[in-house]
Structure 1
Amino acid sequence: MIILALALGLITWQGWQRLDSQQQRLDELAQQAQNSASQQAVSELESRIEEGEAERSQALESTVSELRSELDSYRSDINSTLDEVLTQLSQEQDTDERDWLHAEAAYLLRLANQRLQLEGDVEGAAALLRTADARLADADNPALTPVRREIANELAALDAVPQVDRTGIYLALNAQQERVAGLRLSQEIEERAVTSSIEQPPTGTFQRQLARFGEELKDLVVIRQHDEALEALITPEQESYLRQSLRLILEQSQLALLKEEPELYEASIDKALELLNGYYDTEREETQSVIARLQELKQAEVKPELPDISASQQALASFIDNRFESRRQDGGDA
């Protein structure tokens, strides 16, 4: 039993030794196989990395080439688009400049009509028409020919309007007032009773005051025909009142001149002539000179007939409306 046990132990130990030896060999073989596989894997990995790098380099070069091509194309498109935009802006700028000229001419024509209708300024209206025509000439558009034709006709009509020297007429009337102050009254004036109403200062508007002066003047003096000259019978107060009435009448004619009221202007001068012929010595040369000068001033054209210069304004307004309507339609079609 002991020998059998020893033999069994020996056999077991030998078997263990063999098994351990085989295990070591297997480990070595496995290690060698693992090392060989690792080297092969590393080699394959290196090969793949090299292939990937080559592919990436090729892809990068291709991408860079494509980006450069696209950038060049994009830059070319931008330059082309920029040229088109600049050309369009240049055209629009030219169009806007012409529109400004049209608008300025329209404003000048409207101002010329207002100057003529409200102020009666013929020369100012003509100057504005000429300036408007110059603006239309700068626009250089044959379609504006009808407008410029109307302006030419209106300038000719304004040139035909008689020139009124209001300053000269006003000063001439003022000079006659000063001369009237030195004229002698007629010796055929008889004194009459003076009513108490003369001592009261006149009230009311200028025309009512003059009418009142005329009524009171009739109560002061009366004209009588005599074969021989009579000594003046009018008092100094009555003479002053008469001269003051004549002065106020001439001032009224000056006011009518400035306000361009021809009816009142002529009526005032007629009233002044009536007083001169009725109460002043018309046989004296200075009196006749004043009467003749007033009759000459009465013929002056206080408010000449003014022409209608609105045709050019209407023609230009129609041109501008048609121009914008055509643009609107072109924009809608586009």
Structure 2
Amino acid sequence: MSPDPTVTESSASDVALPVAAAAPWWSDRRLQALAVIAALALGSSLVLWQKVSGMQQQLARQSEDAGNTAAEARTQARQAVETATQTAAKLAVTDAKLAEVALQRSQLEELMQSLSRSRDENLVVDIESALRLAQQQAQLTGSVEPLLAALRAAEVRIGRTAQPRLAPVQRAIARDLAKVKSSVVADTPALLIKLDELVLLADELPLANAVGAHRDTTATKRQPDEPLMQWSWRWLQALQDEVRTLVRVSRIDAPEASLVAPEQAFFLRENLKLRLLNARLGLVSRQLDSARSDLATASTAITRYFDPAARKTQTATALAQQVMGQMKVMELPRVDDTLAALATAAAGR
């Protein structure tokens, strides 16, 4: 059986088709596009891989740097904690020292205030003692110089302290200083001389009831020049005086003066001299009240028991009145204002 030619051709054509499809792959456009895309994707992948690698390296470096930074931060934090702990400890010590210093300061201020108060109190006590001593010296001496010196010294000392609480004391000192300067004090030696004169006159004062007390006041008659006549005249004069003493009429205002016996005149004069000497002693010792009392008693005795018409009696009475008048201005000024201000300052503290 012979082959069919049609079938043979068709088979041959069918076989030829695959042969024609076996052309190179790069000749196909689709494949070319795919290859280009693949190449691009590969290149992009390489670029991305490189970028990712760079980023990984950068991240690794950053991570390493962050780790180092964290380690350094931890170290610094640890150091900061230690520093803070040390600072807290030092601050606690400083606070304790500050509290101790504050306590010492308060104690020092209290001590300074105590010393200042003690100094002011000592100054007040010292000034008060000096003024009282000066007052006693002034009373003993009868001079205001001790008071003036004490007041001036106190004024200077208070002025140096410059304490406001002592300002009233300073004003009181100024007032007392002006009062002492303007005071008038009697002359004590002159008064003592007058009292001595009165003591000497006490023995020469005629009593009010003395016989022949007025004999020296009568006029003396002219006696004859011849010796016989002189003797006769003196005898007659003596006889006349004796006759006059037998009876005497006089006026006595004080009845007790007429009762003084002649033998009591001595005691009367001695008593008068004792009164005058007591007055002198009181004047010297600055016991003015006692001196005035004794002098007043002596003046009363002179007026009562002695002849007021006699010149010596009048002289003694005048001296007694002068001494009593001058003793009225012998009161020394006192520094009561300053002492009161000092007492107030000491009480206030």
| TM-score (norm. length: structure 2) | 0.46
Higher RCO (Cα < 8 Å, 6 or more apart): 2
Choose 1 or 2 for highest CA Rg: 2
| TM-score (norm. length: structure 1) | 0.47
